[in-house]
Amino acid sequence: MKIGVLCTYPVFAAGQGGQLRTNRICRRLGRRHEVTIVSQNQSLFQVTRQEQGFKEICIPVSRSVMENIASWQMGMDVSVSDIVMSMPSGVTPGFRSAADRVMSESDVLIASHPYLFHLMQKYEGHKKIIYDAHNVEYDLKCSILPEGTASDRLLAQVLYAEREAVLKSDEIWACSSEDKNRLERLYSVPGRKIRIVPNGVDVREFPFYDGASKQSFKHSLGLGGKTVVAFIGSLHKPNIEAAEQVIAFAKQLPDTLFMMMGAVCDAVRRSPVPANVVLAGQVDDELKRTVYLAADIAINPMITGSGSNLKMAEYMAAGLAVVSTPVGARGYRVEDGVQALIRPLAEFPETIYELKKDVSLRWRLSTAGRAYAERYFSWDVTAADVEESVSGWNEGGSGS
């Protein structure tokens, strides 16, 4: 079977968040099907990458579309390029041509986010169309766009694009039951149309160290005797807000080392940071694993956002004792005190200090979190759901 995927950003060399979700789902579908992604990049050249069963055609944004994006971007402190792509004037002609070619040759179409769904609508009733809802986009954009007339117009466009994707797709993949329920209420869509496809993690990519092995590894890095707290995030407003909280915690816990990874570090660097904060920036998989192996605790102090945080699944797979807000833990159904500690922001410094002193509690959370990730959040488990979804079209013709 041939599967065509449209995405607003490159996913072959996945880094974080939505990139990882689309990449991992497509790689696993590519084991049995021919998957082609058409995505967009900010360079001057088209890039095509391929491995067995999985291909990405990444189209550069045209000058006219870049100018259009720039006009909408004025006064905005967050990117709106994805929203602009939901408008006819926001699609590069080369992207449209590549997307049309791939879609015409595909049996199943997947819209990663709602912003390119309008390109798929001419295939309604002829091909199975799946909307992969990484978030409730309208709620997310409401929380991050500044107030103003331009934002109101953009939010109206988001609402329209998301409504079209929700109502006109054959099936919706939601990250969590919370998102499923919200989409049902917001767009009056029947729940049977929505399949929960949670964000996952490649559990086998994360070695699991017992206490003695971890301490030995930390000594080899010159971190013996230090308590290390990890945080990772993309350059996304909810992550920036969380990173600012991490800096505040570090000031209250000067004897604890905080290691921050991801593009969110670029936002934090704009102001002085305490000496006990290490900003690693964008990291490859090997360095990320090294940081997780050196860390004792991982935190997720999110206060806004939609979907679910992939970092939670990674933290648990890496065997870290996790402290999260309820917002950060959404979609994972973790039990407070079993797989993680769920706390309000005001209690984070006290909770980190508690974990720093209580080695047995750290170990209980570590082992329970790892087992939970293996059982429920491995991408292999998620792949079974998406495979059933796309194969249903091949067997039954409609799939809706």
Query: pLDDT for 186-244, tens place per residue?
Result: 999 999 999 999 888 888 889 888 888 988 999 999 998 899 999 999 888 889 999 99
Token reading at 86: 């939901």
Confidence band (pLDDT; 50, 70, 90) for 181?
A: very high
Give CA–CA dist 86/67, Å, rounded. Answer: 16
Q: What is the mean pLDDT of residues 9-34?
A: 86
Given a cut of 80, whether residue 16 has pLDDT beyond it is: no
Backbone angles phi, psi at 329, to 5 degrees: -95, 0
Give pLDDT, residue 381. Answer: 80
Q: For residue 160, give every residue at least 6 positions away whose Cβ sits within 8 Å of its Cβ, in sequence order, or none.
A: 86
β-strand partners of 97: none
The CA-atom distances, in angstroms, between 233 and each of 58, 219, 292 are 24, 26, 14
Confidence band (pLDDT; 50, 70, 90) for 395?
A: very low
Q: What percent of the chain has pLDDT over 90?
A: 71
Alpha carbon 133 to its chain centroid, in Å, reads 11
Domains, the chain, ordered by start? 2-200+379-396 (3.40.50.2000), 203-376 (3.40.50.2000)
Q: What is the mean pLDDT of residues 381-396?
A: 72
Q: What percent of the chain has pLDDT over 70?
A: 96
| Average pLDDT for the chain | 91
Given a cut of 60, whether residue 396 has pLDDT beyond it is: no
Given a cut of 70, whether residue 74 has pLDDT beyond it is: yes
In the chain, count of helices (H) and strands (E)?
Answer: 15, 14
Q: What is the mean pLDDT of residues 264-289?
A: 92
